[in-house]
């Protein structure tokens, strides 16, 4: 009996050793298939897009009639707006309003009344502008003087500039073309000066 139990014990140990040795350390087919299925499911979920796709769209998600007018571009096509002060804004051409305004100012007529052409006034003589009641003389070349054309005697208008003097027809008073001073009476005082300037060969009364 003892011998039999010993055999039984040995057989039991042999069975355990055989059972442990009979387990295949390699993964089973079922485990491999399960792993492959989980990996494929994860890849499919990662490749899915959350954007709405039309029912009849192709594999790229584009409907047969083309993308909708208001469709948003993909994340790769979206661009951020240019920041203020970036090169996109600095590269825009600068307006030419400044140059236009400067040229307009240069061409603008000066303030005052245009009496006539400066070239019409002879050197050593003068011109009388009765409408403005002004006499302009040129005692020396390029030197212009302006005076009131109203005689200081009784208010007559002077009518001639000759021999370096301005003459009044009423009572014969004469005035110097250089400063309007009285040369001959009865005028009691010189002709008042009038402010003028020459611009582009024009005599301007200021």
pLDDT tens digit string along 154-176? Answer: 999 999 999 999 999 999 999 99
Please answer whether residues 202 and 112 qualify as being in contact, where contact means their C-beta atoms are separated by less than 8 angstroms.
no
Owner of token pair 């096509």: 77
Return the pLDDT at 117: 94
Residue 138: both structure tokens together:
């040129």
Greatest CA separation found in the chain?
A: 181
Out of 30-34, 70-74, 133-137, least confident range: 70-74
Residue 134: closest CA among 164, 109, 112: 112
Return the pLDDT at 56: 62
What domains appear along the chain, each with residue ranges and CATH number?
A: 121-205 (2.102.10.10)
Chain-centre distance for alpha carbon 142 = 44
Q: What is the DSSP string of 148-159?
A: ESB-TTT-PBP-
pLDDT at 20 over 50: no
- Cα dihedral: 58, 64, 65, 67 (round 10): 0
pLDDT at 84 over 90: no
Owner of token pair 């009388």: 128
Task: Name all contacts of 138-146 with Cβ < 8 Å and 24+ positions apart.
Answer: 139/164, 139/177, 139/178, 144/118, 144/196, 144/198, 144/203, 145/177, 145/178, 145/179, 145/180, 145/193, 145/196, 146/193, 146/194, 146/195, 146/196, 146/205
As a whole number, mean pLDDT of residues 100-128 equals 80
Peptide bond before 186: cis, by omega within 30 degrees of 0? yes
- Beta-strand relationship, 143-148 and 174-176: unpaired
pTM reported for the whole predicted model:
0.48
Return the pLDDT at 154: 92
Q: Of residues 16 and 27, which shows the higher confidence score?
A: 27
Q: How far apart are CA 163 and CA 125, in angstroms?
A: 7
Strand order of the β-sheet with 134-140 is 126-129, 134-140, 143-148
Residue 143, strand partner residues: 140
Return the pLDDT at 115: 93
H helices of 63-110, where?
87-90, 97-107
Q: Of residues 108 and 16, which shows the higher confidence score?
A: 108
Q: Confidence class of residue 185 from pLDDT cuts 50, 70 and 90?
A: confident
Return the pLDDT at 54: 59
């Amino acid at each position: 009996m003892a011998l039999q139990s010993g055999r039984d014990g040995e057989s039991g140990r042999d069975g355990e050793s055989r059972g442990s040795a009979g387990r295949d350390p390699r993964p089973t087919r079922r485990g491999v298939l399960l792993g492959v299925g989980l990996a494929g499911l994860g890849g499919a979920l990662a490749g899915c897009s959350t954007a709405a796709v039309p029912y009849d769209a192709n594999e790229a998600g584009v409907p047969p009639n083309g993308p909708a007018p208001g469709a948003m571009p993909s994340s790769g096509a979206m661009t951020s707006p240019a920041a203020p002060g970036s090169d996109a804004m600095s590269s825009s051409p600068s307006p030419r309003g400044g140059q236009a305004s400067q040229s307009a100012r240069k061409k603008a007529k000066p303030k005052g009344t245009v009496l006539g052409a400066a070239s019409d006034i002879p050197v050593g003589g003068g011109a009388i502008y009765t409408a403005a009641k002004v006499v302009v003389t040129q005692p020396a070349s390029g030197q212009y003087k302006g005076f009131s054309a109203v005689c200081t005697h009784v208010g007559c208008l002077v009518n001639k500039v000759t021999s370096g003097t301005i003459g009044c027809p009423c009572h014969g008073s004469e005035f110097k073309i250089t400063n309007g001073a009285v040369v001959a009476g009865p005028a009691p005082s010189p002709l008042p000066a009038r402010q003028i300037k020459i611009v582009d060969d024009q005599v301007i009364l200021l």
